[in-house]
A and B are shown apart, each in its own frame.
Chain A
């Protein structure tokens, strides 16, 4: 079936280091959404990207959507302990279907 691949599966960083998670699809996506799930919590919507090559920022978080609309990335600058959690991308396929990546677990050492 249609898949959205997300890497890495897990990353452990020192507080203050940067972090990036990548999302890739073999199919052109209509849009990409990003969610954050704190340990023991539920996914919370962060942002949506729709346009080819789009870049959006939320404080220390930078989101990119590839030119071909088949990949996306989330970059966190100078991680903090509050960034701990699992980050999911979700790709829109065919306009109606939303397919989630497996998520990247981020752990931050203080």
Chain B
């Protein structure tokens, strides 16, 4: 099993550019999440999904969009990249929602916006 797979691993964007961070999981998990990790700040939830066709905002959703057309895939879209979006992005999945179920993380995407 590959688990949770994220692409790309690294990306440099110019201000105002857009991009999509890809995430796919092969564990048949209904619940998927996007987090960003900034130094010394822990993990902040951007968006999450409880199943195909259903998404909801987390703590820090501004500047991002998501979609969930299939159980496996949960892409994260940045429309107008800003320096404040420089961060490491982690996608995760779980068998059950939120608390009570371990999160399985992908390897992360390191994004720099200049």
Contacts and interface: CB of A to CB of B under 8 A. Distances in A.
Interface string A87-101: 010111111111011
Nearest to B99: A92
A59 interface: no
18 contacts: A9-B40, A30-B100, A31-B99, A31-B100, A33-B102, A33-B103, A35-B103, A42-B105, A42-B108, A44-B105, A90-B43, A92-B99, A92-B100, A100-B35, A101-B42, A102-B40, A102-B41, A103-B40
- Indicate the member of A9, A93, A98 with the most B CB atoms within 10 Å: A98
A66 interface: no
A45 B103 contact: yes
- Indicate the member of A9, A43, A88, A92 with the most B CB atoms within 10 Å: A43
A43 B103 contact: yes
A96 B42 contact: no
A41 interface: yes
Interface string A69-110: 000000000000000000010111111111011110000000
